[in-house]
Amino acid sequence: MRDTSYAAVLSRKNEIMKASLGIDFDTYVSSPVAFDYERMMADTGYSLDDIVRIQSGTKVGGTPLFELNRLTEAVRAFAEPGKGARIFVKDEAANASGSFKARRASISAYEAKKRGYAGLVAATSGNYGAGVASQAAMRDLKCIILQEVFDSRGVGQPEILEKSRACEAYGAEVQRLSVGPELFYVLLRTLEETGFFNASLYTPFGIRGVETLGVEIARQVRERCGRDPDAVVVTHAGGGNLTGTARGLLAEGCTSTRIVACSVDLAGLHMASDADFNRKSFTTGHTGFGVPFATWPDRVDVPRNAARSLRYMDEYQLVSQGEVFYVTELMTKLEGLERGPAGNTSLTAAVTLARQMDRDQVVVVQETEYTGAGKHHNRQLSFARENGIEVRVGDPAENVPGKTIVLPERLEQVRGRVQEMDRLRMSYLKNAAKQHPVEKWTDGDVAFLAADLKKEPAWVRQAVPALT
Amino acid sequence: MSVARGSWVEIESIVLQPAERAPGLPEDTARTPYVLRLSGFLEEVAEIGQEVAVKSLIGRTHRGVLRLVNPGYDHSFGATVPELLHIGLREG
């Protein structure tokens, strides 16, 4: 009988990962901080055309791009003369399972089937679980989804309760767990017990599956507007959405498109805290994931993360919970489109960007997700009230995560705010220095770190003195 | 009241006691056990509160304390938040 204590299972992490993914990460790693990222991505063996073909076989991709005419007009009503870019949204809710996460799950499911695994396991409380369960159903694979659902009172976050329902609807075994990072421990144990494929969010299969989203955006905007998208806004949490979309845009030659990340600001709330768990009105797309994953991607459930957001990010916008709920309601009323919080986070940043950009420019919100019971913004606000959070109308600058949600009175109060990119890059380098002392960094390490930060090696070199 | 074999039920089990949990947790989380809830088909006749085995939707066996019979989903759209209703209206 194997030792299943926390420490014992964690110590078997590498062998469990190797068996459940069939990827030997050691072959790419050149130092504690550097590895051959592009070779790892290429070794999936799939071309973009292959990925399109696989996805079209399981109801993924080819989603519509809608222009949000009335919302654009509403922005132009208060923007400076000549300002107010055209806002488009990629309706990813049209994928099987209702979000872009179907793209991310599709290649893992195909690979698992091809290699003879009996099933898939994923640890995720978000749309990804439904994506994996739906793809597994179509590939006749068994599926286990592990979710962080409820606090010590037994109260579940309504959005995650809906995800539990969706996963069971697609025939998955759903393990609903209380608050804590030990979800990873349960993942390892489950992989070991079942021998199933690890459908981690952060494998090369997951990220390459998202590349088709960037490709479609490039082609659709060129056809509709006769230009490349000027900015693409991506709701940012773990970094896979941004990484995959940006890689797809680059593959199509959109080298001057600005890649803008956006997260809901939840500063001050602890992600592993039982008491804070139900004081958050967003379960993902927030700074509690967005900042730590950007500044150290390799903190995930695979040894090297294929989602590396700072490698592709040009700008990082923060928005408040109240601003997102306001824009969600406004899109419903102006555009006749009722969608969930994930895409509406980046839509909120798009309002701010469109206001600053010229009228002939194009800003693309690269996803929507489905909404409904539990996920709906009305439920999130009523749940916040039930948990003692103040909800009122006023100046969104007065939002305090976990205490007050302020809905703006007017669209022009939606301003968001920008994160300082170089501060994030420095934070990444400090994390790298913790893994591998700066004095041991080789030219190869510096070249990798520079590429991972979308900077030149000289920039990393000049930053080194501030790290020690 | 006994629950029939084959019923769709929810069980609960403790995955890790507080002392067995991951290091470095916030204090409020560290003092609670790490708990699993899971639904499946009951393997034998039992009473609520008894230790039982269930078969999940993919046929795996799990053990835990019988908690609910016919567990459903009651998440909803919630009580109306009137502040939302005014957004985007052409008022007047």
Cβ distance A333 to B88 less than 8 Å, yes or no, reads yes
Model confidence at B92: pLDDT above 60: no
Give B-chain residues touching A391 at CB under 8 angstroms: 81, 83
Q: Which of residues 361-390 of A touch B (CB under 8 A)?
A: 373-374, 376-383, 385
Q: How high is the ipTM of this complex?
A: 0.97
Task: Please indicate, yes or no, if residue B33 is contained in any of the structural domains.
Answer: yes
Q: What is the pLDDT along chain A (468 residues), one digit of tens a residue?
A: 789 999 999 999 989 999 999 888 999 999 999 999 999 999 999 999 999 999 999 999 999 999 999 999 999 999 999 999 999 999 999 999 999 999 999 999 999 999 999 999 999 999 999 999 999 999 999 999 999 999 999 999 999 999 999 999 999 999 999 999 999 999 999 999 999 999 999 999 999 999 999 999 999 999 999 999 999 999 999 999 999 999 999 999 999 999 999 999 999 998 899 999 999 989 889 999 999 999 999 988 888 999 999 999 999 999 999 999 999 999 999 999 999 988 999 999 999 999 999 999 999 999 999 999 999 999 999 999 999 999 999 999 999 999 999 999 999 999 989 999 999 999 999 999 999 999 999 999 999 999 999 999 999 999 999 997
Mutation to test the A interface, candidates B60, B67, B77, most A Cβ within 10 Å:
B77
Please provide the size of chain A in residues: 468
Q: Does A144 touch chain B (CB under 8 A)?
A: yes
Nearest to B54 by CA among B42, B39, B44, B65: B42
Give yes or no for residue B91 having a pLDDT over 70. no
CATH of A6-54+99-202, one of 3.40.50.620, 3.40.50.2300, 1.10.10.10, 3.40.50.1100: 3.40.50.1100
- HSE of A150, CA atoms in CB hemisphere, 13 A: 19
| C-alpha span between B92 and B90 (Å, rounded) | 7
How is residue A298 annotated by DSSP? G
**Residue B77 is encoded by which pair of tokens?**
């759209």
Residue A70 contacts B where some CB pair is shorter than 8 Å: no
Domain range for B19: 2-85
Could you tell me if residue B72 is inside a domain? Answer: yes
Q: Where are the domains of chain A?
A: 6-54+99-202, 59-98+205-418, 432-467
What does the DSSP assignment read for A78-90?
Answer: TSPTTB-PEEEEE
CB A134 within 8 A of CB A370: no
**Which run of H or E residues covers position A323?**
helix A321-335
> How many structural domains are present in chain B?
1
User: Is B58 an interface residue toward A (CB < 8 Å)?
Assistant: yes
Q: Which of chain A's residues have a Cβ under 8 Å away from the Cβ of B80?
A: 378, 382
Q: Is residue B69 part of a domain?
A: yes
Please state which of the four CATH numbers 3.30.420.40, 3.40.50.970, 2.40.10.340, 3.40.50.1100 is assigned to the domain occupying A59-98+205-418.
3.40.50.1100
Nearest CA in chain A to B73: A165
B91 in a domain, yes or no? Answer: no
Give the domain CATH number at B6: 2.30.30
Q: What is the pLDDT of residue B1?
A: 81
Please report residues of B whose CB lies closer than 8 A to that of A336: none
Cα–Cα dist A259/A240, whole Å:
13
Please list every residue in chain B whose beta carbon sits closer than 8 Å to the beta carbon of residue A380. 78
Do A149 and A224 meet the contact criterion of CB atoms below 8 Å apart? no
Helix A127-138 vs helix A101-114: angle between axes, to the nearest 10 degrees?
40
Token digits of residue B91: 């008022």
